Amino acid sequence: MQDIPPLPEDIERPVTDKSARETDTGHETPTDTLPGLGEQLRAAELRAAEHHDAWLRAKAETENLRRRAAEDVAKAHKYAAEKFVGEMLPVKDSLEAALASENTGFDNLRSGVEVTLKQLIAAFEKSGVAEIHPLGEKFDPHRHQAMSTLEDPGEPNRVLQVLQKGYALNERIIRPALVIVSKAPGA
């Protein structure tokens, strides 16, 4: 190692005492601001790391919510008819019981079919299925399908005959009623 010669007297030596670094105006010299900048940089890096961690956690939570929502939608599609199927099972049981009976007279068979029809109507009502039977109503192309028209002395565009009932599920038309509509004489 080489010996370092002492500094000449006219070269300024580093100041280690804070009070000695202050100029006659009372402000610190620029060399004193470097440790403060380093601390600020470390604090900013720490805050940035905290924000990044919070962002990663929020992103993971959002992905989990999205995944759970997709699973819920898939389950809803898969099991959408579950309630309706539960309502229809007693109807199926009644029909099977009627077919299994060997010595059924016409009156017994008819009363069995009537009970089964009542079960079916109750199942439809519980599931929000409504019957559309528009006899005598004004023709509505959103709810009815005109199969033909007949001249009638009464009001035109009225349902004269229902060929097939329509059905709606919670106000949404599943099958329009097939109808014959009135038209004015000579029209």
pLDDT in tens, 13-50: 555 555 544 554 555 555 556 668 889 999 999 999 99
CATH class of 129-187: mainly beta
If pLDDT is split at 50, 70 and 90, which confidence band does 8 have? low
Sheet with strand 129-132: strands edge to edge: 129-132, 166-169, 172-175
pLDDT, the chain, mean: 84
**CA separation for the pair 132, 160 (Å, rounded):** 14
**CA separation for the pair 96, 64 (Å, rounded):** 47
Identify the pLDDT of residue 104.
Answer: 73
Q: Is the pLDDT of residue 155 over 60?
A: yes
If pLDDT is split at 50, 70 and 90, which confidence band does 172 have? very high
Q: Is the pLDDT of residue 135 over 90?
A: yes
Identify the pLDDT of residue 103.
Answer: 74
pTM: 0.58
Q: Is the pLDDT of residue 157 over 90?
A: yes
Sheet with strand 177-183: strands edge to edge: 144-151, 177-183, 159-164
Domain positions in the chain are 30-78, 81-127, 129-187
Contact residues for 178 (Cβ-Cβ < 8 A; gap 6+):
144, 145, 147, 162, 163, 164, 166
CA distance to 12, 15, 43, 56, 174, per residue, from 28 (Å): 17, 12, 22, 41, 84
If pLDDT is split at 50, 70 and 90, which confidence band does 105 have? confident
- Average pLDDT of the residues in 157-166: 95
